[in-house]
Structure 1
Amino acid sequence: MTEAVDVVPRVTHLAIDCDDLDGMARFWGALLGMKVTERDEVWLELERLGEGGPVLSFQRVPEGKQVKNRLHLDLTVPDLDAAGVHARALGARPVSALMGSDPEAPFQVWQDPEGNEFCFVTGG
């Protein structure tokens, strides 16, 4: 009988497909207060998402975004209005009204400059 091997994977990167690596680095770096740690012609990495967390990465791909993301980032903020003003100044745009079943903890869907969705959430 063979010995059991730990096969539970660990998330090391959250990769977002894009066209403009530098544009995504500017947007996401400024939005999240993160610096570029690695870059080549097709791959760019920002700092880890929290201590021991995965690296936020961007991969240049030839095709543009076609449909809604199946995976997105939820970004917890203390003030949706202030976060929205900051994100809009960086090139993002809201794509929903405030939503949520709890009026004390609304959220809003946004898109980065290349159309990738993310949410600003409160409470969390």
Structure 2
Amino acid sequence: MIGRIDEVVFDCANPPALARFWADVLGGEPAGRDDDWHYVDPPGWTRVAFQRVPEGKAVKNRVHLDVEVADIALATAQAEALGATRLGDVHADTAGSFQVLLDPEGNEWCVVKPA
């Protein structure tokens, strides 16, 4: 083993807004180190941080968060009320079901319900 995950970092245009969004999704309180770096410490998980970068998001994420939920439809509606955007329909297979969402800056993530 080389080490452990210290934090998961998203590049973004508006760190305070994204920290607030993800705190509302995952729990915890948004905090800022400075104008360009904000984060949230979700209960029971590693820090999720947001750093300001000059360029916008251009392509699909190569890494995304899966957030386990009890009810995909309810979680999707709650996420949309916070500013998320639904992408396509609910997908289901033998592993369970998931809905792809975009956060307010277009980063893909999923609400998932295992089988």
What TM-score do the two structures reach when normalised by structure 2?
0.91
2:108 equivalent in structure 1: 117
Question: 4+ residue stretches of structure 1 with deviation over 3 A?
Answer: none
Q: Percent identity?
A: 41
**Greater Cα radius of gyration, structure 1 or 2:** 1
Of 56, 68, 83, which aligns to 1:76?
Answer: 68
2:7 equivalent in structure 1: 13
Matched residue pairs, number?
Answer: 115
Q: Distance in 1 between matches of 2:47 and 2:14?
A: 18
**Residues 1:87 and 2:69 aligned together:** no
Check whether the contact 1:49–1:56 (CA below 8 A) recurs between aligned residues: no
Q: Distance in 2 between matches of 1:9 and 1:59?
A: 22
**Residues 1:106 and 2:97 aligned together:** yes
Residue segments in structure 1 that go unaligned for 5+ positions in a row: 1-6
Check whether the contact 2:32–2:38 (CA below 8 A) recurs between aligned residues: yes
Q: Distance in 2 between matches of 1:83 and 1:91?
A: 12
Cα deviation code 1:6-54 (max 9, x no counterpart): x61211010011101121022111111221244212111211551xx42
Q: Distance in 2 between matches of 1:25 and 1:56?
A: 8
Check whether the contact 1:19–1:60 (CA below 8 A) recurs between aligned residues: yes
Q: Distance in 2 between matches of 1:92 and 1:41?
A: 23
Q: Distance in 1 between matches of 2:59 and 2:111?
A: 20
Describe the SS at the equivalent of 1:11: coil
Report the AA paired with residue 29 of structure 1. Answer: A
| RMSD of aligned residue pairs (Cα, Å) | 1.7
Describe the SS at the equivalent of 1:97: strand
